[in-house]
A and B are shown apart, each in its own frame.
Chain A
Amino acid sequence: MKRVYAKEEVCIGCRLCEVWCRTEHSRSKNIIKAHKSEFPPPVSRVLVEELMPVSFALQCRHCDEPECVESCITGALTKDESGRVVYNEEKCVGCWTCVLVCPYGAPQRDLERKKIAKCDLCPDRDTPACVEMCPNQALVYEER
């Protein structure tokens, strides 16, 4: 399956991927509204890890053997036939077990909704928002 991969050698730590991920997962999909007036505010599914000068963007790896799916107590996380780790927000009770077990720290705590937020590979787009909007081609979406 296609996954998002980071190219740390050209990631500049601007965090625009986070901005556009939030926008993509907002109700309005309008960058200004999403950040200034929506409540609860959208949470970015991608997180830029940095220890300057090194930085890279990290989101759900859609693991082949996902720990989060194994341990989710309500079945909110499942692996679908395409290989994506799919999250059903309805079922999430905010226990944050997945947050604890994910070796990458990918599931984000959504403190307002008391649920998690996790990369869904932007199902409404051909290329995920973070990949398309990165100004330095530091993210690629490809089969490896």
Chain B
Amino acid sequence: MKTYQLPEVRIERDKDRCINCGVCVRQCAFNAHKFDEDGEVYSEDEKCVACQRCVSLCPTNALYIKDNAPFVKDNANWTAETQKYIWKQAETGGVLLTGMGNPKPYPIYWDHLVLNASQVTNPSIDPLREPMELRTYLGSKPDHIEIEMVNGEPVLRTKIAPQIMLKTPILFSAMSYGAISYNACEALGRAATELGTFWNTGEGGLHRNLYKYAPNTIVQVASGRFGVHSEYLDAAAAIEIKIGQGAKPGIGGHLPGEKVGPAVSETRMIPVGSDALSPAPHHDIYSIEDLSQLIFSLKEATEYTKPISVKISAVHNVAAIASGIARAGADIIAIDGFRGGTGAAPTMIRDNVGIPIELAIAAVDARLREEGIRNRASIIAAGGFRNSGDVIKAIALGADAVYLGTAALVAMGCHVCQKCYTGKCNWGIATQNPYLEKRLNPDIAAERLYNLVRGWSHEISEMLGGMGINAIESLRGNRLHLRAVGLSREEMDVLGVQVAGSPMA
């Protein structure tokens, strides 16, 4: 039996422009374009996922992908989408799957927060003429420092915990080899190295050929322990224990066996073609004390030479959990908000579980300060950062740095079609198919990532300068530089900001 459904999109081809070159036919891995027996191109709308690959490459701009939302009788409850989900499940009985981050129209708090600037009473700084410091150190800071004067020179006596130094407060988020292609990993590693920042292996291990980027690599130890061995830990700049991910808090991961080819198998240390299942919890972590044991095992294993990060998804009790993580000995706490992306997640979890990163940063920063332990761990915020404005606001709310995942993918070519889980990414990013993977030229992708972060860093410098601040350090947690527009009293309380128009004092 076949259930007939209106395709999500309509492919329109301007026949006056189309030269029948077949570029679209060759580019669409979903086979939405075909040649008929007379050699004429035509399209099958229902196969299209709206990734825009064909549109981008059609040399005559003959293609348009248009929304084809079916007309359902006006109903805010039973929208076309809700009905479509039900049809799909009525047909399959399965769990709805999707990719990328939460697309629902929850409030985006960044768009309700505005920054300050200097006028008359305090001078702004021109970052092109004066030094502007974006350098950021991530790692545990001491409670106090002891300095001794030796021959009139100050000498630091306190032993400082290991730190990683970022030239700009932006890192690339955990995205595993397996979920993304080798070329995508290569581009991230290369861009991070050139930018003086870090990329993160995710739970997929580090491919042999990418050890050259190890000094700029954060390696993950996740519940599946894929690809973890002593050389992996030793090579890295920092180690991240992955507890949770913003897109799917509380559940594990699943890399389908089709994506586990020889190279992924070797890197992850699992048999070719086997499903890589990451359990929802770490089976050795049931408490903060257990977490502490893993943190210290990793510290012991690497002789206390590198910071250990713990990544969690932002959930209701995030502040208390973060406090526990700091007390457990983590040097960095990475918090992933509910707009964080993923290669594959059950749709209902992606769209309904977790909290916005803005509220989580504010809550965690406030809690750690109250408890007098904010210095013990740096905070990296993640989950849907779209531009430099979001980044600088996150820092003003209390984050030390920001992880970019989706934005980095978009810079490389991703058009957020949310079909990462199919392994057929037409942009060569979320795929292991050798034919598709080649579409991501690591030279081009690395340059685009570099350009993006460079552009954002410039903008951050300018905004800092505008506020009369010459170092990102001075903005960190400085919520006086933020004001709220259109938020409730309770939201402002959690964010720790005042309404726009209230004075600086």
Contact = CB atoms under 8 A, between A and B. Distances in A.
Q: What is the interface residue range for chain B against chain A?
A: 20 to 34
A20 B439 CA distance: 19
Interface stretch (A6-14, A66-74, A77-85, A114-122): A6-14
Contact of B438 (A12, A15, A36, A133): A12
B27 A14 contact: yes
B19 A14 contact: no
Interface in B427-444: 428, 433-435, 438-439, 441, 443-444
Contacts of A19: 19, 21, 23, 59
A82 B465 CA distance: 54
Interface string B24-68: 001100000000000000000000000000000101100000000
Nearest to B439: A12
Does more than half of chain A's interface fall in helix, strand or loop, or is it mixed? loop
A136 interface: yes
B19 A36 contact: yes
A137 B442 CA distance: 10
A15 B435 contact: no
Given A9-B438, A137-B444, A138-B441, A35 B26 contact: no
Interface string B88-123: 000000000000000000000000000000000000
A113 to B, nearest CB: 20
B19 A137 contact: no
B438 A31 contact: no
Contact of B444 (A35, A133, A136): A136
Interface string A107-144: 00000000000000000000000000101111000000
A52 interface: yes
30 contacts: A10-B438, A10-B441, A11-B438, A12-B428, A12-B438, A13-B26, A14-B23, A14-B26, A14-B27, A15-B23, A16-B57, A19-B19, A19-B21, A19-B59, A20-B59, A31-B19, A31-B59, A32-B16, A32-B60, A35-B21, A53-B434, A53-B435, A53-B438, A135-B57, A136-B441, A136-B444, A137-B441, A137-B443, A137-B444, A138-B441
Interface of A: 9-16, 18-20, 31-32, 35-36, 52-53, 133, 135-138
Per CB-CB distance, the 4 closest pairs between chain A and chain B, nearest first, are: A35-B19, A53-B435, A53-B434, A10-B441
Given A16-B59, A138-B441, 19 more contacts: A10-B443, A11-B438, A12-B438, A14-B23, A14-B57, A15-B23, A16-B21, A18-B21, A19-B19, A19-B21, A19-B23, A31-B19, A31-B59, A32-B60, A133-B59, A135-B57, A136-B438, A136-B441, A137-B444
